[in-house]
A = this chain, B = another copy of it.
Amino acid sequence: MKNKLEFAKQIVLEAGDYLRLHLHDDLMISKKTGPTDLVTQMDQQVQKDLVEKITNRYPEDRIFAEEDGLRSPISEGSVWVIDPIDGTNNFVTQKEDFAVMVAYFEDGIGQFGLIYDVMRDHLFYGGGEFPVYRNEVELTPFVDQPLEDFLIASNVGMLEKNDWGMADLGMDSLGIRVYGSAGISFSKILSGGILAYFSYIWPWDYAAAAIMGDQLGYTVLNLNGDKPNYQTVEPIMMVPKVKLTEIQTYLKKGRS
């Protein structure tokens, strides 16, 4: 498994190199499910490169990925979950605050995850049998403090409508941030800079964070408190296990 993780680090770093090299290429932008759901030829190219490298090296392994409808269920066999560019709208407009994410499962059990914040050059990796690192720094588990001492990250729609009590939770915290990228938000949690994150997201958005977070005292659940289904889009949270009960009082009150 150590070799497989080293291989994963290498291909994710190569994906970041590719994106930095082509950062100012002309983009061919398409809209998927709506006017703000963008995809570019870079998302497709990065996914294609990752999938090719994986299937060349591990021909038996399967893929669950954002683009092109690759949806092998994580529950069966050796499955790589891929988000080639998380935060595509930031990638298109800002050229920062986007991430490459990869997670690896065997028969439904997460073995390791990787989030690469490309422009900060921060590679988060580990989980399963491995400690979690940001580059060469081993990350430390969550340390509890009062809610009011922590920032929260959230999807903007939840905030605007106070869905799941998100605005109320924000009011009792140190403040709310909206970064427009699950990967960037999760990486800030793993670094200890953000308490929790809430959004409507897909398995490729949360798989890597869930595997790494488990090592550091966090849990990834849907907002009903159940395990994510690893199949469809759901309202998802990543929160410290010791803060779950307190946070759920807001979610329950705010449930529409």
Q: Which residues of A contact B (CB under 8 A)?
A: 35-36, 38, 89-90, 93-96, 148-151, 156, 159-160, 162, 167, 170, 174-180, 188, 191, 193-194
Contacts of A175 in B (CB 8 A): 36, 89, 156, 180
Of B89, B96, B160, the contact of A159 (CB 8 Å cutoff): B160
Residue in B closest to A31 when the chains form the complex, CB atoms? B148
Cα distance A175–B37 in the bound complex, in angstroms = 10
Given contacts A94-B188, A94-B194, A193-B94, contact A89 B151 (CB under 8 A): yes
Residue in B closest to A145 when the chains form the complex, CB atoms? B93
Give the copy number.
2
Q: Which of A167, A178, A193 lies at the interface centre, i.e. has the most chain B CB atoms within 10 A of its CB?
A: A178
Contacts of A159 in B (CB 8 A): 156, 159-160
Give 12 new A-B contacts, CB below 8 A, not counting A36-B175, A93-B174, A177-B179.
A36-B148, A36-B174, A89-B151, A89-B175, A94-B188, A94-B194, A151-B180, A156-B175, A159-B159, A177-B180, A178-B178, A179-B179
**14 interchain pairs (CB within 8 A)?**
A89-B151, A89-B174, A93-B149, A94-B193, A151-B180, A156-B159, A156-B176, A160-B162, A160-B167, A160-B170, A176-B178, A177-B178, A177-B179, A178-B178
Of B89, B156, B193, the contact of A96 (CB 8 Å cutoff): B193
Contacts of A94 in B (CB 8 A): 151, 188, 191, 193-194
